Chain A
Amino acid sequence: MMIWMLVKRNMLLFFKDKSAVFFSLMAVFVVLGLYVAFLGDFMIRPLRETLGEQARELSDTWIMAGTLGTVCLTTSLSVMEIIIEDRSRRIFDDFMITPLKKDHMIAAYFLSTFLITFLVCMVTLVIAELYITYYGGRWISWSTFFQIAGILCIDILYCVSILYFILSFFHSTHAFSNITTIIGTLSGFLMGIYVPIGALPQTLQTLIRLFPPSHGAALLRRAMMADPMERIFYGLPSQQLEAFRINFGLDFHYGDVFCNNFGNIFILLATALLFLFLIWLRRKK
């Protein structure tokens, strides 16, 4: 009960802070804005030449899957402001003078960040689907929905564990806002959501493949784009589909080794477990 009440407190603190909610959805609005303004045209035009009018659905789904991946990171970061605030205002001490254990506090922070991020991701998914269907795309099926939900759980677990570890080194809101700006700015780029990975130089492509959140984005793209890809690439040479999957960051190759769904999930979970272990080691601090 103690942990649940703290989770409820953290969730209330987040959702009552309208600016926090707005800025956690900011990534969606920024990407959508850029996409509508020029990115969409820049991407759809070459695709249209080979795939025809259906290229738009593919491009829309691609950008939305990437956005969903970014929202996992930016929202987790936004929720963690509560932790920094608790630490800098010494509210943490107010809990520590109760019979509550530090591990309970950490668990509550972790769980609330996870739940809030999941909820915001679900809202983002609805916005994304509304956008896709408005421009002629199809709604995702229930099985795809559950697949996306499962991927989001893994992706959020990864994001929360790495961010919680990084933020355990920060004690002031000022330092936190600086790190938020850096991570927020880099995340979209390193997940390859603005420009298809195939259009980037080789070194940058390698860097993106090594950046674990890009594996989350790849999983989301595979899940969300499976249906439109099947329809749109139907009857076309398989090499064309393969090239598309590599260029648009759905499939990652390390040399000759192809990283399939399990590979992506393994990388995300292994990184999450590593950082959870590091958090456990640092919990006394």
Chain B
Amino acid sequence: MNYGIEVCGVSKAYGSKQALKGVSFGVEESSMFALLGQNGAGKSTLIDILCTLRKADRGIVKIGGYTAGKQDAAICQKIGVVFQNSMLDDLLSVEENLRSRGSCYQLFHHHVQQRIDELDAMVGLRDILHQTTATLSGGQRRRVDIARALLADPNILILDEPTTGLDLSSRAQIWSMIHHLQNEKKMTVFLTTHYLEEAKQADALCVLKEGRIIAQGTPKHIRDTYAKNRLHLYSSALSQLKKQLQSIRIAYVDHIDHLDVWTSDSMHALSVLKRTEKFISGFEYESGTLDDAFLTLMEGGDCHDDMDAGETKYAAVL
């Protein structure tokens, strides 16, 4: 398996604050990888290390086969970065911005022009090329950010919260661009996002908490492993239903007209239904979402066990 990005045992501290604690993961070439985590989890530090802006205290980072800290110049040619905040010069036009950044890759005037034409076809620049950057809308600015990141024709695109603060249609536009780059241009895409519905579109994702990776895998795997499925049980004899659940040691959450039970999967839900069928008048089954998985991970820390969670809830209810 070829990896576009390899991170192995990376740690980074700022004084006494440990920002990253032995982080390891791999991003397959031409795949999309999402990094999730709350503010302060260490995402920005990790992005900075991947971009060669910071050096890890420990561990190895390889980008496109080149080792960070030793072959940074080669890495810079391989990566394109869209930072969380736009780094364009407000007073310059879009074209002037792209030309000044293009020169840093030693692209001559006609090469930059050629690249601008190619990027126009990809992200749509023609109408705004001569516009002052300060007057661009949020979506237009993001498009230019992406164009700037793609100037040197990189193989790996790193995006730090690319759609934060954008309206729905701009977000959709940016995502269609990202998919195009991954599928058509076979780029490796690494992104951080706060929008879990966006993270679902990634081939793999990992969740960072307090500088440590607490979960990684495909979105489906994360959802199936960590999201709690909800079974709403309706009954005209709620007290009897509660007694039955307590007798079979199943946790529940009390609501006015129904009880909620967390189940690991649909088979587990069926077994609960069979054991409570005499006491229920109806039920609803709700599959867990990636949002649920993320919340569980954020609340629960680095371990997850349905029974443990159930027993804790049960104890609380008792």
Q: Could you tell me which A residues sit within 8 Å of B by CB distance?
A: 1-2, 4-6, 8-9, 12-13, 16-17, 89-91, 93-100
Contact = CB atoms under 8 A, between A and B. Distances in A.
B239 interface: no
B271 to A, nearest CB: 54
Contacts of A17: 91
A93 B50 CA distance: 13
Interface stretch (B98-106, B240-248, B282-290, B310-318): B98-106
Nearest to A15: B91
A9 B105 contact: no
Given A90-B85, A97-B81, 11 more contacts: A9-B92, A9-B96, A13-B89, A90-B83, A94-B148, A95-B101, A98-B76, A99-B73, A99-B104, A99-B106, A100-B104
Nearest to B79: A97
A90 B103 contact: no
19 contacts: A2-B103, A2-B106, A4-B103, A12-B91, A12-B92, A12-B96, A13-B92, A17-B91, A90-B87, A91-B89, A93-B53, A94-B101, A95-B104, A96-B53, A97-B81, A98-B104, A99-B76, A99-B106, A100-B104
B152 interface: yes
B77 interface: yes
Nearest to B52: A97
Given A6-B103, A89-B85, A97 B76 contact: yes
Q: What is the interface residue range for chain B against chain A? A: 20 to 34
B195 interface: no
B103 A99 contact: no
A99 B100 contact: no
Interface in B93-143: 96, 99-101, 103-106, 108
A10 to B, nearest CB: 9
A9 B73 CA distance: 22
A17 B92 CA distance: 10
Nearest to B91: A16
A169 B103 CA distance: 28
A13 B100 CA distance: 11
Contacts of B148: 94
Given A90-B85, A93-B87, A97-B51, A16 B106 contact: no
B87 A99 contact: no
Interface string B51-93: 1110000000000000000000100110101010101010110
Contacts of A12: 91-92, 96
Contacts, number: 66
B100 A9 contact: yes
Contacts of B152: 98
A13 B87 contact: no
A12 B96 CA distance: 9
Contacts of B73: 99
Contact of B83 (A5, A6, A16, A93): A93
Shortest 5 CB-CB contacts between residues of A and residues of B: A5-B103, A98-B104, A94-B87, A9-B100, A100-B104
Question: Counting chain B CB atoms within 10 Å of each CB, which of A2, A91, A98 scores highest?
Answer: A98
B76 A6 contact: no
Contacts of A90: 83, 85, 87
A2 B104 contact: yes
Given A6-B100, A13-B92, A97 B53 contact: yes
Contacts of B92: 9, 12-13, 16
Interface string B143-158: 0000010001000000
A241 to B, nearest CB: 50
A98 B108 CA distance: 15
A230 B99 CA distance: 52
Nearest to B92: A12
Contacts of A95: 101, 104
A5 B109 CA distance: 10
A98 B152 CA distance: 9
Nearest to B158: A97
A94 B83 contact: yes
Contacts of B87: 89-91, 93-94
Given A16-B92, A90-B87, A99-B76, A8 B104 contact: no
A8 B96 CA distance: 10
Nearest to A95: B104
A74 B101 CA distance: 29
Interface string B182-221: 0000000000000000000000000000000000000000
Contacts of A97: 51-53, 76, 79, 81
A98 B91 contact: no
Contacts of A100: 104
Given A97-B53, A97-B81, A9 B106 contact: no
A91 B133 CA distance: 14
Nearest to B53: A93
A8 B99 CA distance: 10
